[in-house]
Amino acid sequence: MQLFAASFTALATALLLASPLAAQEIDPATATANAALEAAPVFDGHNDVPNQLRARVANQINGFDFADTTGTGEGHPQGAVMQTDLARMKQGKVGAQYWSVYVPSNPDEAEAVQEVIEQIDVTKRLIARFPEGLRYAETADQVERAMAEGKVASLLGMEGGHSIGSSLAVLRQLYALGARYMTLTHNSNTPWADAGTDTPVHGGLSAFGMDVVREMNRIGMLVDLSHVSEATMMDTLDVAKAPVIFSHSGARAINGHPRNVPDSVLARLAENGGIVMVVALPGFLNEERRQWFAQRSAEEARLKALFQGQPETVTATMDAWDKANPEPATGIKHMADHIDHIRKVAGVESIGIGGDFDGMPSGPVGFEDVRGYPLLFAELARRGYSQVELELIASRNAMRVLRAAEAYAASVADMAPIETLITPPAMPK
């Protein structure tokens, strides 16, 4: 009888340990993360699915299956599979998403304006084609309603000020079409703002650029400072009357890439009320990986100079270099390190998440696609973040910022539109 009782106890213990409930009990961090994401699903700041639609299917989406994109590698030259679909967003606990209606930097601004309208069109059509998973949203209230109904609230964000054609009138009309944030630059300067990865021209924002920020505040469009120079960040914080966002950036103190936010700016962010939505791109997260890439680029440039007209030699020698110098692995812990630093300098209310999925080859190990958010939040819980703090990072901070932008716009509803022209017309003779 004692032997039977012992065996029964052992079996019961094994079954308990194998149950999902026991797994949560064994791993309190996972339980805390799951509870946080149940209460406040992820409100992600940046996803490049719209650009994938342009690049892969020329925006012809009537036959495109966004419910499951795991088979999209078959038609891609490098076999790259898309990182986002409805099934994986559900697994990743995504409740709201800014879809990036990005178009490449273009000195022909009229062409850029046309292309961004095309990207707005295809994104709205994608949302409308999949009502079982997506719900179009323009306001914080609409985001909350969609999330409450289990849909992914879907907002539009423009990446790059070239999309307005240096016209405040175009800016206003793109807001009317649904764009709820604009990144002031992409990788290149605009005629009115310096990018972080281009040679400075304006010393930050030009006078017209400052009026762009003022007009964005007036109409309720969020100012996104990812991609811009430190001087542009500082000028914007001097002018802005509403919270700013960094839709997909990290902390420069952890990784020195100019796409990341320096401590000088982080120190001012709490006063502004803005947030850094931490990016997942390995080159912006892992400093060792950034240094490796610089060394690899230098070696490739050296070989091309040595073996001009001999591309086969360059390729073979670089293959040998790659084998001897493998890319350093980037993991979820690197992303959490950036969150730790931003909390230390700016506070937990200054943090969000901006994965940049489908705008990069892959995220970190364990965070390769949109399924990875729960693992990130479990890592943060293991580092001592409370459920309340995790809820702030997941979506409550992003919701607060969106509401603040709407509230400021409502407070100045009687203000006349700004009519500044980037180049004042010549006076008649």
Catalytic residues: 46, 48, 159, 186, 227, 248, 356
Q: How many CB atoms lie within 10 A of CB 331?
A: 17
With beta carbons less than 8 A apart as the criterion, state whether 189 and 197 touch: no
Tokens 């979506």: give the residue.
395
Which amino acid appears at position 24 of this protein? Q
> What is the full DSSP assignment across 153-200?
EEEEEEE-GGGGTT-HHHHHHHHHTTEEEEES-SSS-BTTB-BTTS--
Residue 222, strand partner residues = 181
With beta carbons less than 8 A apart as the criterion, state whether 398 and 43 touch: yes
How far is C-alpha 344 from the geometric centre of its chain's CA atoms?
Answer: 21
CA torsion sign for 240, 245, 248, 249 is positive
CA 163 vs CA 102, 171, 400: distances in Å: 8, 8, 26
Q: H or E segment at 411?
A: helix 397-411
Grouping H, G, I as helix, E, B as strand and the rest as coil, residue 229 is coil
* Distance of alpha carbon 150 from alpha carbon 132, whole angstroms: 9
Kindly provide the b/e burial profile for residues 342-363, where b requires at least 16 CB atoms within 10 angstroms of the residue's own CB: bbebbebbbbbbbbbbbbbebb
* Distance of alpha carbon 365 from alpha carbon 305, whole angstroms: 35
If you compute the radius of gyration of the chain from its CA atoms, what whole number of angstroms results? 23
